[in-house]
Amino acid sequence: MTELSHEKLLDSLFDGVYFVDLDRKITFWNKAAERITGYSREEVIGSRCSDNLLRHVDEDGRELCFECCPLVGTISSGSAREANVFLHHKHGYRVPVSIRVSPVRDDEGNIIGGVEIFSDNSTLLQILHEMERLKKEAYIDELTSVGNRRYGDMTLSTRIYELKTFGVPFGVIILDLDHFKQYNDTYGHKTGDEILVMAGRTITNILRKIDSISRWGGEEFLLIFPNIDSEVLKVVAERIRAFIEASYIMVGSKMVNMTASLGVTMAFADDTPASIVERADRLMYASKSSGRNRVTVG
């Protein structure tokens, strides 16, 4: 096969391909490399990647041309490498690419350079972002950005399975904001929404990473605490109640704060998702009946 046919073959590939010599100077640059990077063959032949060309960076923003360069590593060791990186496009933005690097050897087996093949990952990232968006839509409450009812149901079922299968204890709190309808009627629904957001974020900032919060409905939140005992659960509930009482928003020059009533219970071995929520709900209404802004444990 002639050199010209080799070039035509490489130019027909959808992936970008380029060769470098032992000094890391680019000796070949195919059509797909031009398309993905914006740099023409004439602009890059004889240059190095680090000459304000590709300037690969990893997901943490580290410039690989000056440390951990895959091509340098492959030329030095003779081992192929793969990585997901971001290259510099001629127009300034970063392009996500998958790269595969291999050594180039002469007829005697000596390494005389390296070849990099790179694929544009932009479409893949768009798909992943879309999947993440759909996931959020499925499990995240749009207003408060905490879990929604579906997320709460799913987490509750998981915790009950862990309790019955592995004996992992967990506790549940049903929290309902006091006199919420009155606040809506007095200050309007926009202020009501701001109060819900305030409550959700206040609670979230108190929780551990393994705990969960979901908006159970209206002004009601479901909180689930794995690996906890009843005494610690009660302390946490009192802390949440106090933090909500101490939080406020400003409506004009008026300070508007909120209180909450909490029903607190540990899960039992024979509980179902419905039974534990019903018990916590009943305890929450006991807090309402006892004057609100309090915790009832059962």
CATH number for 273: 3.30.70.270
Both 158 and 276 in a single domain?
Answer: yes
219 is catalytic: yes
Distance CA 92, CA 242 (A): 50
pLDDT, position 196: 96
Both 97 and 30 in a single domain?
Answer: yes
Both 207 and 233 in a single domain?
Answer: yes
Distance CA 175, CA 173 (A): 6
Distance CA 34, CA 272 (A): 60
Residue 207 belongs to some domain of the structure: yes
pLDDT, position 125: 67
pLDDT, position 65: 76
Q: Which tokens is 291 given?
A: 């004057």
Both 286 and 158 in a single domain?
Answer: yes
What are the pLDDT tens digits along the chain (298 aa)? 444 567 888 888 889 999 999 998 999 999 999 999 999 999 999 998 778 778 888 877 788 877 778 888 888 899 999 989 888 888 888 888 999 999 999 999 999 999 999 998 877 667 677 777 777 788 999 999 999 999 999 999 999 999 999 999 999 999 999 999 999 999 999 999 999 999 999 999 889 999 999 999 999 999 999 999 999 999 999 999 999 999 988 999 999 999 999 999 999 999 999 999 999 999 999 999 999 999 999 9
**Looking at 74, 91, 126, which one is the last position of a domain?**
126
Annotated catalytic residue, options 34, 194, 219, 220 = 219
Helix, coil or strand: residue 75: helix
* Domain interval for residue 146: 140-297
**Looking at 126, 148, 180, which one is the last position of a domain?**
126
State the pTM of this model. 0.61
Residue 183 belongs to some domain of the structure: yes
Both 60 and 98 in a single domain?
Answer: yes
**Looking at 68, 93, 126, which one is the last position of a domain?**
126
Output the domain CATH number for residue 47.
Answer: 3.30.450.20
Return the DSSP state at 207.
S
Residue 88 belongs to some domain of the structure: yes
